Amino acid sequence: MLPIKVATASLNQTPLDWDGNQRRIESVLEQARDEGVGLLVLPELCVTGYGCEDAFLGPDVSRRAWAMLMALLPQTKRMAVSIGMPVRRRGGLYNTACVVADGRIAGFAAKEHLAGEGLHYEPRWFKPWPNNQVVHLEHDGQSYPFGDVFFDFSGVRVGFEICEDAWVAQRRGALDGYAMDIIVNPSASHFAFGKHAVRERLVLEGSRSMAVTYLYANLLGNEAGRVIYDGGCFIAQNGRMLAQSPRLTFDDFVLTAAVVDIEASQTEQVRTTSFMADRTDPGTKCINVSFELPRAVMKRSQPTVPEWETSKRHKEEEFMRAITLALFDYQRKSRSRGFVLSISGGVDSAAAACLVALMIERAIGELGGERFAEKVGLEAQPNPRDWVRELLWCAYQPPENSSEVTRSAATAVAKALGATFYVLDVQHIVEAYEALISDAIGRPLTWERDDITLQNIQARARGPSVWMLANIRGALLLSTSNRSEAAVGYATMDGDTCGGLSPIAGIDKAFLRHWLRWLETTGPTAMHPIPALHEVNTQTPTAELRPRDQEQTDEDDLMPYPVLDVIERLAIGDKLPPEDCLEILGNDFPEHDTDTLKEWVARFFRLWSRNQWKRERYAPSFHVDDKNLDPKTWCRFPILSGGFEQELSEL
């Protein structure tokens, strides 16, 4: 046997937070050293943070990253560590893993395949490193191997797949035919529904097909504002999972370790008839490191999986845990003092309010009250309910078209959560604006002639007061627009879109309604349901902006939300033309006749193209799946276009 203790780490870093990023790396190095880890893998670009955007292009970021590396070297004694960082070299910036052994730099493995789709823009900042090319990096009078390299620690070979390198169609197998003992993958792989299972298969298959120990490290938390990283580190060997970390936690870092028998992988390579034995001299690709990975006492590992990961309602749990973690990090990293919300008594604002309250309960449960207070920068409160009152301010703002039903629902939800709650009557403000414009144009405003105008002023009249509450508190104002509404522009700019953060803009209305029903009756694992949501869940979604006798509903204004969501995924996610969308809808929704479906398809495409300007102005939102509508990072579309007129005429 050749037992070695290996470990991966997830880190909750922040772009350009030099002191904080270094402190967290130092903490995980200390814990790894105390636990006798011989080889540690840190996430991709963990020194700078992954989301530095165009700041990567300036020379100062690379200089400061190198200075941090120098400061970390003494803390890597008696172990080997892979540290993710950007490196400048002769006109190029490269995404690298710096390998440090016993306090000395052994070399740099450079990323070969850059992530350039979806929310990833790596080719904007980095250059891909060519396969099989090895050079030297000259820095401060020293020379280090750099490029497509692997490392030999006294007979234990360690190779690299840096995030995207493992996802491409032509995965490199046993690193171009050179037999490895360990493959490490430092990643910055963002959260999306179901993606964790894909990563697990990638790791298990990599460890099986290459007959190696596979170490996968990932970032954790809301790093830079929009993107959530769920952690989820893995250690696998020969197709068997040995250890995995919990996901979506509130920790600064999570260390995951296991003892592996290197000879077990070597034996598997010999045993497997399809394994291509190492028959060539790797030359400069192999970096011999004069450091022997410390031996460990052999222990069998059995990965533990949190109860919520095996829940039948896995998507509901994932959504809650991802958004609550994102809210927690967004608040503390923006140094805000809580959240303000215009609560309407409907689905969207109720969901946003519940997510804030659940964030507080989860964070205190994991961190404890004192650590929670320290992280959010506020004085400690006696219990979670007092924290909700301190951090969540809700205002119900009724014009005359609002009903007692929504007032009762808003009051019930705020009270059940323990939020600070205000009722701010805005009818006199609405009337003042109507009188002002009527006098200016010389005629009264009427619903027959000025429907949109009269609806919008009610929504916009709510904005100034909640902004004032946010300013008074030094808090984040939450916008409550959802993905379905964003797709068709069913929102009043500077009204219900007011806010600095839009936590549910990445999720569709149909799922939100389903999620609230689950939260009312079941609730998350080891937590509790919120029965007060019954008053929200029994309503038909409505903006409540037209006179009550018109019985306005969202789906009458638009179409059924399930239909809208399917059209959005077909048209925008799959890039299908209107005719193809109509054909698929006919199969999916046989209860609706063709003419009705045709009308809805046309309505969607017209509203989508007319309202790109609104999506450009929405407050930042969180990514929760891999087909998003956010034009800043995912779905780009022209503000001005032909509006699909030719395509729609073909219907």
pLDDT digits 0-9 by tens, 54-70: 999 999 999 999 999 99
Residue 173 has pLDDT above 60, yes or no: no
Which residue ranges does the chain devote to CATH 3.40.50.620?
Answer: 309-548
Summarize the confidence of residues 409-415 as an average pLDDT: 98
Does pLDDT of 626 surpass 90? no
Q: pTM for the full model? A: 0.95
Q: Report the alpha-carbon distance of residue 26 to residue 32 in Å, rounded.
A: 10
- Class of residue 472 by CB neighbours under 10 A (exposed 0-12, middle 13-18, buried 19+): exposed
pLDDT over 60 at 435, yes or no? yes
Q: What is the pLDDT of residue 146?
A: 98
**Average pLDDT of the chain?**
95
Taking residues 529-553, report their average pLDDT: 93
Report which of 539, 541, 534, 494 is spatially closest to residue 517, judged by C-alpha positions.
534
For residue 471, pLDDT over 80 is answered with yes
The continuous run of DSSP H or E covering 41 comes out as strand 39-41
- How far is the C-alpha of 264 from the C-alpha of 262, rounded, in Å? 5
Start-end of H helices in 272-403: 314-333, 347-367, 369-376, 384-391
Cα distance between residue 583 and residue 586, in whole Å: 5
pLDDT of 372? 96
What pLDDT band is residue 281 in, cutting at 50, 70 and 90?
confident
pLDDT in tens, 136-153: 999 999 999 999 999 999
Digit-coded pLDDT (tens) for 302-335: 788 888 888 878 999 999 999 999 999 999 999 9
Q: Is the pLDDT of residue 590 over 60?
A: yes
Residues 340-391 have pLDDT tens digits of 999 999 999 999 999 999 999 999 999 999 999 999 999 999 999 999 999 9
Rounded CA Rg of the chain: 27
- Residue 82 pLDDT exceeds 70: yes
Question: Measured between alpha carbons, how far apart are the two ends of the chain, in Å?
Answer: 69
Average pLDDT in the 437-447 region? 97
What is the pLDDT at residue 178? Answer: 84
Under the banding of pLDDT at 50, 70 and 90, the label for residue 504 is: very high
Rounded average pLDDT over 399-423: 97
Reply yes or no on whether the pLDDT at 642 is more than 80.
Answer: yes
Say if residue 88's pLDDT is above 60: yes
Tokens read off for 384? 């979670």
* HEC profile of 422-488: EECCCHHHHHHHHHHHHHHHCCCCCCCCCHHHHHHHHHHCCHHHHHHHHHHHCCEEECCCCHHHHHH
Residues of the chain with CATH 1.10.10.1510: 559-651
Nearest CA to 67 among 22, 9, 10, 11?
Answer: 22
Q: Which of 360, 625, 598 is nearest to 511 (CA)?
A: 625
pLDDT recorded at residue 175: 60
Tokens 């309505």 — which residue? Answer: 603
Instruction: Give the dihedral of Cα atoms 530, 531, 535, 537; nearest 10 deg.
Output: 70
Closest to 410 measured CA to CA, from 340, 479, 344: 344
Query: Which residues make up the CATH 3.60.110.10 domain(s) of the chain?
Result: 3-305
pLDDT digits (tens, 9 = 90+) for 486-502: 999 999 999 989 999 99
> So what CATH class is 3-305?
alpha beta
**Average pLDDT value for residue range 520-525:** 96
What's the confidence (pLDDT) of residue 191?
A: 96
Helices (H) and strands (E) in the chain, counts: 22, 21
Indicate the range of 106-115, 248-257, 289-298, 406-415 predicted with least confidence: 289-298
CATH 3.40.605.10 for domain 559-651, yes or no, is: no
Question: What CA–CA distances, in Å, run from 534 to 313, 351, 410, 527?
Answer: 19, 13, 11, 18
Q: If you classify domain 309-548 with CATH, what class do you get?
A: alpha beta
**What is the predicted pLDDT for the residue at 176?**
67
Given a cut of 60, is residue 174 above it in pLDDT?
no
Strand runs labelled E in 166-212: 182-186
Can you tell me whether residue 125 is helix, strand or coil? Answer: helix
Q: Does residue 276 or residue 424 have the better pLDDT? A: 424
In this model, does residue 250 exceed pLDDT 90?
yes
- The alpha carbon dihedral of 484, 490, 493, 499 has a sign of negative
Residue 177 reports pLDDT greater than 80: no
Closest CA to 125 of 98, 147, 96, 168: 96
Q: Are strands 156-160 and 150-153 parallel, antiparallel or unpaired?
A: antiparallel
Q: What is the CB-side half-sphere exposure of residue 131 using CA atoms within 13 A? A: 9
pLDDT given for residue 240 in this prediction: 96
pLDDT, average across residues 428-451: 97
Residue listed under structure tokens 């000025």: 450
Q: HSE on the CB side for 348, CA within 13 Å?
A: 27
111, pLDDT greater than 90: yes
Q: Is the pLDDT of residue 585 over 70?
A: yes
Average pLDDT over residues 27-39: 98
| Tokens 């495409």 sit on residue | 605
Residue 332 near residue 372 (C-beta atoms within 8 A): no
What is the pLDDT averaged over residues 559-585? 96
Side-chain-facing half-sphere of 333: CA atoms under 13 Å: 21
Q: Please report, for residues 39, 383, 467, the alpha-carbon distance to residue 255 in angstroms, rounded to integers and kept in the order given.
A: 12, 29, 41
